[in-house]
Each structure stands twice: as structure tokens, then as C-alpha cells.
Structure 1
Amino acid sequence: MRRTLPSTGRVLARAPRVRYRVAVITNTCSFVGSDASPLGLFGCGAPAIARPAGAIERVALSATSWVDHCPGWLGGSDELFERLLDRSRWQQFRRTMYGRRVDDPRLTAWFGPGEDRPDEVLEEAASVLGAHYGVAFGRLALNLYRDGSDGVAWHADRIGRSAPEPVIAIVALGAPRPFVIRPRGGGPTRRFSTGFGDLLVMGGRCQQEFEHAVPKLAHAAPRISVMFREIDDRPPGDLVQVVPGSRLRTSSSPSSTVAIRPSSWAS
């Protein structure tokens, strides 16, 4: 399914799943594999936690920093992607970077304590992950990467300045994108492919010792990253535009065109 963006020429297309020759057919959908994980099947159906805590694998980055990774942790990721796309109040900010004012190359949505989440499965996910890691995930952040020209440059999250060992959990929905991590100051880069409900968690002194990024790509389908956080650690910036979820679709049809970036926005 392809969704053309108005006047910008950008197309929002459903994340492709055709990668393998062996077709899998279920009562809810059919697909032919996934380049991210053999668990791509769990993108179909109703959103729900699909894998137990014991399936989470830890990667030691150093003696004091680690990343946990679990492909297909959240089932029904395709449906959840659609719900979050429609129900979230998407925002774009302009910030100062390297002496220049630039617009964030992505859209974001934030939910603080006491605010209703755009889907109840996110409340369950925050509770399950919080119990597993001993953390109160009181805040939820969403990043929408519309295509390959959206991304996040190398950085470490600001919470690392105030918390010695913060835990940040990320569930990736939609098309797989590289999530890369390297030591601060440079060094070998570790690459994780995340999408279709994959879970990635950064912990220990990861925010002090390492930096991470979601690089821009020549071609990429849409992706939403769901981030569970302890505090609101957004960098300062000026709000450029707000797009309620109700304005994203141009008709009531679930397969209709999606207007992610109105023509009045800067490219």
C-alpha cells in the first residue's frame, strides 16, 4: 500500500515484508518474510506483548554499559503503527545545532504522567518493562520517521547528565531501520536492525560512555519508534507545526492517502 504525500512528492508506503521465497499465510494476513527478523509474522494481528522477558538478549558494550535486544517482542506491530499514526498529536521542532537553526528531520509526540496513551497496549508495555528493569517509565515519546530523509544524528540522551545509569526502552514499529551505537569520541560501531515490534533497551552507563543514531537512508519506508522514559529530557526548541492525528488521513478509508507533511512546511 502506497500513500502519496501532497505536493511534496514524498510517499508513505507500508513497510515491505517481501524478502524470502517461502510464503506464510495466517487468518489475519499473509506475507513472504522479513529482512529484520524471522519473527516478522508477529507484525500481524492485534497489538500484544508476544515474547517473554527470558527472550531478551543482552549485549555488553563495556564493563558498565549494555544493550538488550529482542526481535518481535511486541506482536501486532502493523496495527499499532496505524493506531499511533492516527491518534497521536504530531509535532515538529526547530533547534540550534552547530550554530544553525534547523528543523528536526522527524515528527514527535510526547505523553507525560497522567496523560492518556494513544493505545492501551503501551500502558501494559510500560508496566511489564518497568517491572523487569526496576524503573518507573512515567513518560512516553514517539518519533515518526516518514522516509529515509528523516533520522537522528549521533547523540547521547540528556538524562545521562543527571542519572548515573538510566534505562531507556525502545519498541520499533514499521519498516526496519539501522540503530547504531559507538563509543563517545569514536570507535567501532555496533549496528542493530529494528522494526516490526523489535525491542531495544539501553542501560548501565550507556548514555555517558556511548552515543547512538538512526542514520538517514536513500530509501526507507515509514517507521515509528516508541520510547519509554523516566523523565522528559527533550532539548530546548521552538515548535514549528502541530498536526493532530485526525488531520493525517485525507479520507475515512483505512487505506487512504496520508498527509504527513502539509505543503506549507519547509522541506
Structure 2
Amino acid sequence: MNSITRLPSTVPAQSDLFGSSDAEFSIDESFRSARRFDLDAHSWIDIVPGWISGASLLYEQLRNGVPWLEHDRRMFNQVFREPRMTAVYKHVADVPDARLLEAVRALSRHYGVEYDGMWMNLYRNGQDSTGWHRDHGSCRKLDCIVPVLTLGTIRRFLIKPIKGGRSMTFKPSSGDLVVMGGRAQQDWVHCVPKEPEIDGTRISVNFMSSAQGVRD
């Protein structure tokens, strides 16, 4: 069972979450601050600090304007409510803010992938989370490039080899971009773990390509 929940119209003071709320929205199309981490010989992750300026403007619009859904999932003959909220846009023309279209164009040009949809996760506080997983639903090719934009409160993002091994931890800030590439969706798993001490809200915007959803 799914239910639609709109969050309260009030949000924490943007100056408290992100610093100044006066910054104009802009995207660094040069990707000048990007740093690549090679996970192994076939997989990598890009971290692009401050890819978006004025991120609080987009955060506020998405937090209050998106019809966020809560989902129930059946596991072990029991029904559990997923500890986060989601929204899916199969067509970029339907996204609720035109600034996301600017992001789509910049990402498509830079990575050479046509991004034509997106899904979003909303973590209401540190009790919300995502377990270890791969993005199999939208990435069925051996090599995929999956950008994820962070908005709001800083949360830990972990990635580790699917066959076992030590995890790497990143802590993207609001406006930062995390991009998983190569075989990262085949050979690695990632998660956003619970952090009970955190009270703030985080939104992740995940950019999808229908071409990457088709097996090689």
C-alpha cells in the first residue's frame, strides 16, 4: 500500500541549514571541482563539491512541492513501511522545477548520457535510511553512470564491494553531486545508513537514463 503525504509548509530556516539563503541558483557546468575515486579497475565515483549554488532554493521547492510517497514492502511474510519517502518522474518534462532541467542538460553533456527521468528520496530525519543495494531497476548495462544530487542536511553515503570488503564513506553537502560510474552498479552496493542524532531533512535527486535500463 502506498500513501501520499505532503510535508508541512514550514521548513527550518535556510540560513541554519545551508548558510546564506541569498545565493542565486547556478550550476557549475565546467565540473571544475570534480574529484574521481577509482573503486577498482572497472568502477569509479565522482564527487563534485558545490556543483549547484543556491541549493536551498531548489531544496525548499522540492521539499514542499513534491507529492512524496510512502511505500510498504513485504519481507519475510510481513509488511514493512520503507524508512524514507520517494517520488518518481519517468519523464523529465514532468519534473516540478525547471532548474532540474538545467541539471539534466549539464549532466547529459558532461557524461555523454541522455538522462530522461529521475527519482527522488526524502529522508525526514536520521531515522530514515536506505539499506545496501544496487540500482538494478534503472541500470541494467554492465557500465552505467548514475548522478545523485544532494540537497539539505548532510548524511553519510557508503559504498562497498558486493563480494565483501571495507566500505568507503562520503558526506556530501547540500548542492554536492555524487556520480557512480563504470561497473559500480554491478560490483558495488551503496547505502544511506540511519543516524539517529540527526534531525534535519535530506533530499537526493537521482538522474535516470532509459537507455541504461536496457541490458547489453
Return 5+ residue gaps in structure 1 as ranges.
Answer: 19-29, 32-40, 235-267
Name the amino acid aligned to 1:224: I
What is the percentage of aligned positions where both structures have the same residue?
A: 35
Partner of 2:203: 224
**1:160, 1:166 within 8 Å by CA — same for their partners in 2?**
no
Please say if 1:187 is aligned against 2:165: yes
Q: 1:44 to 1:72 in 2, by over 3 A?
A: farther
Which protein is bigger by CA-based radius of gyration?
1
**1:49, 1:73 within 8 Å by CA — same for their partners in 2?**
yes
CA–CA separation in structure 2 for the residues paired with 1:193 and 1:100: 33
- The equivalent position to 1:215 in structure 2, one of 182, 187, 193, is 193
Partner of 1:252: none
Name the amino acid aligned to 2:150: A
Return 5+ residue gaps in structure 2 as ranges.
Answer: 1-6
Partner of 1:248: none
CA–CA separation in structure 2 for the residues paired with 1:115 and 1:155: 28
Q: 1:131 to 1:161 in 2, by over 3 A?
A: closer
Please say if 1:131 is aligned against 2:115: no
Partner of 2:181: 203
CA–CA separation in structure 2 for the residues paired with 1:218 and 1:128: 35
Q: 1:158 to 1:14 in 2, by over 3 A?
A: farther
Please say if 1:167 is aligned against 2:145: yes
Under a length normalisation based on structure 1, what TM-score does the superposition of the two structures give? 0.69
Partner of 2:51: 73
Q: 1:161 to 1:81 in 2, by over 3 A?
A: closer
Question: Equivalent residue of 1:53, what SS?
Answer: coil
Please say if 1:92 is aligned against 2:70: yes
Name the amino acid aligned to 1:111: Y
Under a length normalisation based on structure 2, what TM-score does the superposition of the two structures give? 0.85
Partner of 1:117: 95
**1:159, 1:233 within 8 Å by CA — same for their partners in 2?**
no
Q: CA deviation at 1:75?
A: 0.8
Q: 1:232 to 1:94 in 2, by over 3 A?
A: farther
Q: 1:52 to 1:90 in 2, by over 3 A?
A: same
Q: CA deviation at 1:185?
A: 2.7
1:37-62 C-alpha deviation (Å, 9 max, x unpaired) = xxxx6x75232214622321110000
Name the amino acid aligned to 1:227: N
Q: How well do the aligned residues superpose, as a CA RMSD in angstroms? A: 2.7
Q: CA deviation at 1:12?
A: 6.6
Q: 1:112 to 1:211 in 2, by over 3 A?
A: same
Name the amino acid aligned to 1:87: G
CA–CA separation in structure 2 for the residues paired with 1:148 and 1:168: 24
Name the amino acid aligned to 1:79: L
Name the amino acid aligned to 1:179: F
- The equivalent position to 2:79 in structure 1, one of 93, 101, 104, is 101
Question: Equivalent residue of 1:101, what SS?
Answer: strand
Partner of 1:157: 135
Name the amino acid aligned to 1:94: D
